[in-house]
């Protein structure tokens, strides 16, 4: 039995002369809520892109459940149970909320290409079963009344929820959230915290990037702080808060980060 662990070892990603991620190593254990923080431009999103296959890191290893996943394509990585959301919401904006969530069922659906031409009793059953799974996500994220609404016309906070619902529809083992609280008001952030805890209680490991320090301190079990692509500290939130290097690099410049 392999443990659901994500281990990054010396991951390095360069863009031309710029080293966005510099020999970064960390380990996310099963069931954790793991946070990555750092000032703007520290390379946090690049790390996520390296894990999820959008970029391929030049060096190092990304190991998931004992398997090297560096260099796999994004859809192959989703197939292995790692799903992400985006900092700038990327939904299928002309399509309804339910259809957006249904996209998360794509990889679990058993329909073949030719089922796009002719339906069979099996494909109809599969279709219905997956819509029922969408219904579960609509209920879980309290999105039921928006099911038929085109997602582009919804407020920002609800779009964030739709994006998480879409990711959760995949039944992921590891959920990667890129600044899930960005653009949310205080009430929505509180709801988000509850949701993240509920997702963890379902047995899903959560890896998140966040700017909102209060939220990070409250929600995460373990933190890695990066600056200029390098790890400057790691530990549980209460230790990180006291770490002088972190205070200097990140907390000290918190005012600059407000967008």
Partner 1 sequence: MKELQRFGYPIFFVVMAILPHLLNSRWQAVAITFLIFAVVALSQDIVLGKSGMFNMGQALFFGIGAYTTAILNSQFGWPILATIPLAILIPAVFGVLLAGPIVHLRGDYLLVTTIGFNIVFVQVVQNNLGGVTGGPNGIFGLDSLSFFGTDLISQVSVYYFAFAVLMLTLWIMRNLEGSKPGRALHYLREDQLAAESIGINTRIYKIFAFALGAGIAGLAGTVFVVQYSAVSPEAFNFIQSVLFFSIVIVGGSSVPGVLIGVFVMFVLPEIFREFATWRFFIFGFAMIAAMILRPRGIIPATFGKIPKFLIKESNHGA
Our CB check for partner 1 shows the closer of 89 and 217 to be 89
Q: Which is nearer to partner 1, 90 or 202 (CB)?
A: 90
Q: Which residue of 61, 63, 87, 109 would you call a contact of partner 1, by CB under 8 A? A: 109
With a CB cutoff of 8 Å and minimum separation 6, the contacts of 129 are: none
Q: Which stretch, 57-65, 69-77, 196-204, 241-249, contacts partner 1 (CB under 8 A)?
A: 69-77
Going by C-beta distance under 8 Å and a sequence separation of 6 or more, which residues neighbour residue 182? Answer: 87, 211
Token pair belonging to 47:
């790390």
Q: Which stretch binds partner 1 (CB under 8 A): 26-34, 86-94, 180-188, 245-253?
A: 86-94
CA atoms within 13 A on the CB side of 122: 7
- By CB under 8 A, residue 182 contacts partner 1: no
> What count of other Cβ atoms lies within 10 Å of the Cβ of residue 214?
12
Which residues sit opposite 28 in a β-bridge?
6
Q: Which is nearer to partner 1, 25 or 96 (CB)?
A: 96
Report phi then psi at 192, rounded to 5.
-60, -45
Q: Check binding of 170 to partner 1 (CB under 8 A).
A: yes
Instruction: Please provide the distance, in angstroms rounded to a whole number, between the alpha carbons at the two ends of the chain.
Output: 45
How many amino acids of this chain bind partner 1 (CB under 8 A)?
50
Binding of residue 148 to partner 1 (CB under 8 A): yes
- The interface region with partner 1, picked from 30-38, 164-172, 223-231, 248-256 by CB under 8 A, is 164-172
Residue 145: strand pairing partners: none
| 121 belongs to the binding site for partner 1 (CB under 8 A) | no
Among 12, 63, 149, 241, binds partner 1 (CB under 8 A): 149
137 Cβ contact list (under 8 Å, min separation 6)? 101, 104, 143, 165, 166, 168, 169
- Work out whether 135 is an interface residue with partner 1 (CB under 8 A): yes
Check binding of 235 to partner 1 (CB under 8 A): no
The whole-angstrom separation of Cα 13 and Cα 193 is: 31
When asked if residue 87 is in the footprint of partner 1 (CB under 8 A), the reply is no
| 99 part of the interface to partner 1, by CB under 8 A | yes
What are φ and ψ of residue 226, in 5° steps? -120, 150
Separation of alpha carbons 9 and 68, rounded Å: 11
Minimum CB distance to partner 1, residue 235 (Å): 30
CA distance 238 to 161: 28
Q: How far apart are CA 237 and CA 216, in angstroms?
A: 8
Residue 91 found at the interface with partner 1 (CB under 8 A): yes
Residue 67 touching partner 1 (CB under 8 A): no
Nearer to partner 1, 73 or 253 (CB): 73
Residues that bind partner 1 (CB under 8 A): 52, 54, 73-75, 78-79, 83-84, 86, 90-96, 98-99, 102-104, 106-107, 109, 111, 113, 115-119, 123, 127-128, 131, 134-135, 138, 144-150, 153, 166-167, 170
């Amino acid at each position: 039995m392999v443990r659901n662990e994500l281990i990054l070892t010396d991951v390095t990603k360069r863009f031309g002369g710029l080293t966005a991620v510099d020999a970064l190593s960390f380990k996310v254990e099963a069931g954790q809520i793991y946070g990555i923080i750092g000032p703007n431009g520290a390379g946090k999103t690049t790390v996520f892109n390296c894990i999820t296959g959008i970029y391929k890191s030049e060096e190092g290893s990304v190991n998931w459940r004992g398997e090297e996943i560096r260099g796999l394509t994004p859809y192959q990585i989703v197939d292995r149970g790692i799903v992400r959301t985006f900092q700038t919401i990327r939904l299928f904006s002309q399509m309804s909320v339910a259809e957006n969530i249904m996209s998360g069922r794509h990889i679990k659906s058993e329909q073949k290409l030719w089922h796009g031409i002719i339906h069979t009793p099996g494909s109809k059953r599969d279709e219905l079963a997956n819509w029922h799974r969408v219904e579960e996500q609509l209920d879980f994220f309290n999105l039921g009344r928006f099911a038929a609404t085109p997602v582009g016309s919804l407020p920002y906070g609800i779009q964030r929820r739709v994006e998480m619902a879409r990711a959760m529809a995949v039944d992921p083992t590891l959920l990667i959230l890129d600044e899930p609280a960005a653009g949310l008001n205080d009430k929505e952030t509180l709801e988000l915290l509850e949701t993240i805890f509920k997702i963890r209680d379902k047995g899903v490991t959560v890896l998140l990037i966040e700017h909102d320090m209060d939220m990070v301190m409250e929600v995460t079990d373990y933190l890695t702080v990066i600056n200029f692509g390098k790890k400057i500290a790691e530990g549980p939130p209460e230790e990180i808060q006291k770490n002088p290097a972190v205070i200097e690099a990140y907390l000290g410049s918190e005012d600059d980060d407000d967008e």
